[in-house]
């Protein structure tokens, strides 16, 4: 059987993460803009230099973590919606759900690993 549980419980997060993303993604992009950047960069390239990136990781690790979780959830849930519109058999639905969960957990772990290594090494 195709899972017909109340899907608002999941889909509501698509919009809650969207609201969060406006804030954290906005911040993340502003880091690259000279004049706006909280890192105090003079050019786009400078914002990508290792010591600036290092500062960003150490100072704003919480924002980065929120960005990682929300962007991954929002993007993958969006992708899941598109894939559910592609085929509707129960096997396909199950496969999509598994792939999405695996991708979510996999990239989440990998991203947090990077953040953790930065915080751990001063």
Partner 1 sequence: MVARSKFQELLAATRQPPKEVTIRVKRYDPETGKVWYQDYKVKTFRGMTILDALLQIKEKIDHTIVMRYSCRMGVCGSCGVVVNKKPSLACQTQIAAVASEDKPIVVVEPLYNFPIIRDLVADFGDFFNKHRAIKPYIIRKDPDEVEKGEREFIMDPHDLHEIYEYSLCIMCGLCYSACPVSAGDPLYLGPQALAQAYRFIADVRDEGYEERIKIVDTEHGCHRCHFAATCSAVCPKMVDPASAIQRLRKIVFMKTLGFWKKKKITQIAGPLKEPLRQIEAKYAVENILEGVDPEEQAKREEKIDLEL
Partner 2 sequence: MSTRKSKVKLLKNMPGVVRASIDPFLVRATNNPERIMFILHRVTGVIIVLYLFLHIYVTSNTIDSARWNSLMEQFGASIVNKIGEFIVAGAVIFHGLNGIRLLLVEFFGVGIGKPEHPKPPYIAPSLRAAQRKAIYIVAVLSVVGWIIAGILIFTGYLELPL
* Contacting positions for partner 1 (CB under 8 A): 2-9, 11-12, 15, 81, 84-86, 88, 93
The answer to whether 33 touches 94, Cβ cutoff 8 Å, is no
- The secondary structure of residue 38, as a DSSP letter, is T
Question: What is the nearest approach in angstroms of partner 2 to the Cβ of residue 53?
Answer: 5
Residues from 40 through 59 that contact partner 2 (CB under 8 A): 43-45, 48-51, 53-54, 57
Please enumerate in sequence order all residues whose Cβ is within 8 A of that of 11, keeping only pairs 6 or more positions apart, or say none: 77
Positive/negative CA dihedral, 20, 36, 118, 103: positive
Q: Which residues bind ligand HEM (CB under 6 A)?
A: 14-15, 18, 21-22, 25, 71, 74-75, 78-79, 81-82
Choose which of 7, 58, 90, 114 interacts with partner 2 (CB under 8 A). 114
């Amino acid at each position: 059987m195709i899972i017909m549980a109340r899907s608002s419980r999941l889909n509501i997060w698509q919009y809650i993460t969207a609201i969060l993303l406006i804030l954290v993604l906005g911040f993340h992009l502003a880091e690259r803009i000279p004049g706006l950047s909280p890192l105090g960069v003079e050019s786009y390239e400078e914002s990508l230099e290792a010591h600036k990136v290092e500062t960003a990781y150490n100072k704003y690790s919480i924002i980065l973590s929120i960005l990682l979780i929300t962007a991954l959830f929002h993007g993958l849930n969006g992708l899941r919606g598109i894939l559910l519109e592609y085929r509707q058999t129960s096997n396909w639905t199950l496969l999509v759900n598994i792939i999405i969960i695996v991708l979510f957990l996999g990239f989440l772990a990998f991203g947090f690993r990077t953040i953790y290594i930065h915080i751990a090494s001063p």
